[in-house]
Amino acid sequence: MPPRALTRERDVREAYAAHASELYGFAMRSLGDSGLAEEAVQETFVRAWRAGDRFDPQIGSLRTWLFAILRNVVIDLGRARAIRPAVADGGVEPSVEPLDEALLAWQVEEAMRRIGDDHRRILIETYYRGRPYAEVARELGVPEGTVKSRVYYGLRALRVALEEMGYEG
């Protein structure tokens, strides 16, 4: 018989310690409200506990499973509180970010938080702020070639961070 994912209180406590921070981070990003984000995290663990015997550790990690549950909880919470004007068939509300994209965005942001300050800074300066390499090199007091190689190591670090978080693709 496959083990239940969250059988007793200690399992819930361990799963919470391991994953709640990430789950809350994504819930906050999607819902934009700390009260709703808390509710989302609570509901995720409750649903996970209820459905414990449907979790097969051979198929995927507990973390991935919890995120899948959270995704549905966020959709439900979003629906419940939505007071939106009717949108014409085929129309897309411009302010609503598709949930899967939000999850990807959150993963990249979380990965950025995990790589070192230097890696993060170089990617922010050269990519997000689009500053010329020559300018960044002058500011850091290093050759341009060094800036380029730091970008290389920064992207590699980002890739490792994403893989560690279970990102596939």
Partner 1 sequence: MRAERCREWRPLLGAHALGQLSPDEQAGLEAHIEGCPDCREELDALASVARLLPLADPERFETAPALPPALAGRVVGRIAAERRTAQRRRWGFRIGLGGAVAAATATLAIVLLPGGGGPQPSQRIEFAGLPPGMEITATLKPHAFGTEIEMYVKGVRSGTLCRVFLRAASGSRLPAGSFRYRWGEEADAVLTSALDLSRTRTIGVRVGNRTFVAPVSTDQTASSTQRDQTAASGRKIEEAST
Residues binding partner 1 (CB under 8 A): 4, 6-9, 12-13, 16, 20-21, 24-25, 28-29, 34, 37-38, 41-42, 45-46, 49-50, 101, 104-105, 107-110, 112-113, 120, 123-124, 126-128, 133, 145, 148-149, 151-156, 158-159, 162, 169
Residue with tokens 């550790």: 57
CB of 82 to partner 1, least distance (A): 22
Question: Which residue number, 3 or 60, has a Cβ lying nearer to partner 1?
Answer: 3
Residue 119 and residue 158 in contact, taking contact as beta carbons nearer than 8 Å = yes
Report the C-alpha gap between 86 and 70 in whole angstroms. Answer: 26
Quote the Cα angle for 66-69-71, to 5°: 110
Residue 110 Cβ vs partner 1, minimum distance, rounded to whole Å: 7
The count of residues in the chain is 169
CB of 128 to partner 1, least distance (A): 4
Nearer to partner 1, 56 or 109 (CB): 109
| Cβ proximity to partner 1, 1 vs 80, nearer residue | 1
Residue 127: DSSP 8-state: I
* 8 versus 85: smaller Cβ distance to partner 1: 8
Distance CA 166, CA 51 (A): 22
Phi and psi torsions of 69, nearest 5°:
-65, -45
